[in-house]
Structure 1
Amino acid sequence: MNGARRIFASVMLIAGLAATGGCINLEAPDEPIVIELNINITQEVIYRLADDAENTIDENADIF
């Protein structure tokens, strides 16, 4: 009986999948997909300015 139940369950699963096969539709959107990226580069700019300022102070120590 155990083998018969497995066969029955398999047949029911296949029948269920076949019945829902036409319900899923994939379509491309009419408008293009837009991805907005907000990137903050403030930290990198401040780091570069601080590095440049330190080099300038080291090169011109007599002025400061």
Structure 2
Amino acid sequence: MCGHTPQCPDPAAPDRQSARTVCSQPVQGWALLCNGVVSFEDTGCLLPDGRLTPPHRASVPAEVAT
């Protein structure tokens, strides 16, 4: 899919969300990446084969959250 040099990461790669953005809808909270992954604002994503990956945000320590 990707024509960039170096190529964007494969959808199965751990760094899949570092691929270049092809199209985005920031108001709706999603972006289509060059590797076919739909990346969501909450850090979850929809892979080209239809599988979902859960959000992977880092948890905020209690002392920072207050």
TM over 0.5: no
> TM-score w.r.t. structure 2 length?
0.18
Bigger radius of gyration: 1
Which has the higher relative contact order, 1 or 2, with Cα contacts under 8 A spaced 6 or more apart? Answer: 2
Is the strand fraction higher in 1 or 2?
Answer: 2
